[in-house]
Amino acid sequence: MMPTDIKHSLKFDFEKRIISGKKTKVLVITWQFTKSQKIKRNHLAFATLVHLDVQQYMMNYGKIDEETGQARVEFRILDFYAPGNYGVISIGTTGNLLDSVEKCFLSSGENEPMPTIQLRF
């Protein structure tokens, strides 16, 4: 059974790193899974980020901490990315093709609202 996320636990953070000798901003997206479910070692987290004005999509994979149940996905913010409002349209976990689950966020309706962040470069 795949782990399920805790509603409204998604958070954004920024980190600054030196990558290939260049100062780089990294957008870190984290969320929490219920601790009652066992997360397998081979499970990966994933998130899909979209620029809400130009419909530019980015997807990336990350890790899930087996002990804390926290998922972490990082996006390098590159110079050519458009500033503006970004939203997370989906998050999920995958172990293999038959062992994955995805949660989609919508801008309206009964689902959990889409987490958004404004990025300025």
pLDDT digits (tens, 9 = 90+) for 53-95: 888 899 999 999 888 889 999 999 887 888 999 999 999 888 7
> In Å, how far are 19, 54, 91 from 7, measured between CA atoms?
33, 27, 12
Say what the pLDDT of residue 1 is: 47
Which of the listed ranges 30-39, 70-79, 108-117 does the model predict with the highest average pLDDT?
70-79
